[in-house]
Each structure stands twice: as structure tokens, then as C-alpha cells.
Amino acid sequence: MRENFLSFSLPLVGQEEIDEVIDALKSGWLTAGPKTRQFEQEFRTAFQTPSALALNSCTAGLHVALKALNIGPGDEVITTPMTFAASVNVIEHVGAKPVLVDVEPDTLNIQPDAVQRAITHATKAIIAVHYAGHPVELNALRSIASEYQLHLIEDAAHAVGAEFEGKPIGCGDNLTAFSFYATKNLTTGEGGMLTGSQELLDHARIVSLHGMSREAWSRYAAGGKWAYDIVEPGFKYNMTDIQAAIGLQQLRRFPKMQDRRRQIVEMYNEAFSRHSAFLTPVTRSHVTNAWHLYVLRLRAGELSIGRDQFIQEMTARKIGTSVHFIPIHMHSFYRDKYSYHPDDFPIANAAYQNMLSLPLSPSMSDQDVADVIEAVLDIRSQFGRRRAAA
């Protein structure tokens, strides 16, 4: 057994990030400034996005996206129950109604057919979440959005580096929000990026900084002008140069970090796919999975313990895990407000009962990976169903 506890998802941060942060501190620009603009430009180049707006979270990106698209009271937004609450909270924040539909059995992404069935005269947008780093079926959702004249917003919190049919997630003109939270594939500690057409991002940039007609950093730069106008009531959602400094160096190491994630996934798949007790994650042939999460599902009837005890056994073996996610309709606010029952979305509910996320980080050593595999297989050996001899 391990001597030290293996945290679920430690970021990989090196001296390069530290030096870049020190450079930002010495420059005198601590809030949004030149490093933030550089980060936006380099992110745009790296992932072929039309434009990019650096923010303090992916949640901010989704909120700004809804506001920039003038979605509000009386509107409905279709999304998935298999996501973190932020994806749906922002719909409530603008006064619109979230409409949940079930997910695909294999990818756990939103079902396009279910989206189409849920459309009403009040539907204004779809928020599609690229669950665990596996892209949604974008062609189908784009077709639905076009047919019904809906906005398509992509929640790409898990999907930095993912591709759909060879094109990076975020390369389209529609608004797409990325996360740089501490556990994400590319981190700035806290932070996010909103991408989309230049026209949409110009509006989003105003919404993201108090509704000011001028950016804060340009007001205080050499030759900047003090006068500004508030053109609409906006938010305080900007990224800082200290965060952007970390992001700049994370971008440089990103390809190697992704390679390491894929190596770990291959080791996990090799170890677990041969056992009937486990259902390993899928990747469809026309996508590149970002592998933000490795979600292992326990097959019903193959173990004498459930998911919760499985996690306890992992913890006892000093391996950190998590669950992604408690479906939205099972949280008390949404359950009570919309009278949801767990079985209203049976695929999401069934998956939730049997899933756990294993450690997946480029900071992990081969020994760390081996320890995770050993722990999982040891639990299977101890609690696997014994079949009677023929």
C-alpha cells in the first residue's frame, strides 16, 4: 500500500510558471493587462478560435454568453443533467428556465434527439457540455440549432484540446466557454476563456467588465484616456495578469501534458477493460478526447459492494477519487423547483449510481498509475461476485 495519499488531480506546475508570475508581479500589471491579452492571442492561435476573451472562470464565460445573447426571463435553455451545477445555475441567473434532457448511454453526452423533442416556442438556446473531454455530437446539434433558430453554446470546461472531426473545440463562431480551474487540463488556478466570433466577443468583453465602453487596462496604460461610459450593466469577470502568466506557460507545456494523459488512459484501459466488473470510457472514432476525466463505471451484479463503498475502499488504500457528477435534477434546488424525480432521466441516474473518477493528471508517475490499478483490481478481487462452477 502507498505511504502517501494520492490526490485526485494535482496540477503540473513548474519553474516556468513561477518565473512568469514573478515577471508579472515585477511588471506592475497585476490585473488584466498585457499578459492577459497575450494569453488570449496565444490561446486563439493554439486552438484556432476566431476570437478569445480571458475571464475569471468558465462559469463567468457561460453567464456572459447568455447575457451577450440576450437570453432572459421567459426563455428556455436546453441542457444536460450530467454536468456540474454551474452549467445550469447560469441559466437561473439570467432568469431563464433550464430544460434538462437525458444523455447518451456510452459517452454520457446530451442526446441530440432528446434535445429536438424538448424544443418549444420558448426555447432560445442549447448549452452542450463536452462531458469528461469527449465532444458532443456537434453536427447533429448544429443542425437542430439552425433548423429552430437557436443559439448553440458549448460548455467546454472539460474539453481544452478536444477535437471534433479533426477541428478543435472552440474553433466555431458560436460561443464556447473553457475552464482553467486547478484540476483542469490547462490551469491558471482559477480562470476561463470564452471564444466565438469577433462580433459576439466584442459584446461579451463589454458585458464581462462592468458594461464599460473601454477596457480597464487600456485606461491606465500610457496614452490611455480616463473617460468611459457604461453602456449596459455588466459584471466583474476579467482574468488577471497573474493568472494569465500561469496560463502562458501551461500553453507551452500543454502538448506534453496531453500526451501524458493519454498514456495514463491507455494503462487504465489495458488493466480494466478485460474485467467484466468494469465499464471503461469510450472514444468515438471521429473525435479526439481531451481526457479531462477517466470515469470508470461498475457493472451491476459484478461486485458485492456499490459505488460508495468502492470509493471508501479506494480511500483506505490512499487513492483519491471523485464522482462526476451528481445529476442536476437530484440537487435539492432543482429537484424541488421543478418537481424532478431521479428516474426522470434514467440514463444519467443509472450512470451516476455506478460511476467514479480515477486520478488522471500529467503530474502522476508510473508508480502512481500502478498504485491506482492495483487498488482497483484488489477491490475487485476482494468483492467480486463468485460464480458457481458449472
Catalytic residues: 184
The Cα 17–Cα 363 span in angstroms is: 15
CB contact at 8 A, 309 and 63: no
The Cα 241–Cα 238 span in angstroms is: 10
Cell of 78: 436546453
What is the enclosing helix (H) or strand (E) of 333? Answer: helix 332-338
Residue 274 sits at φ, ψ, to 5 deg, of -80, -5
In the 8-state DSSP scheme, what is residue 274? T
Q: Choose among 220, 251, 211, 202: nearest CA to 41.
A: 251
CA angle 69, 73, 79 (to 5 degrees): 65
Cell of 213: 465602453
The Cα 55–Cα 70 span in angstroms is: 19
Cell of 52: 478569445
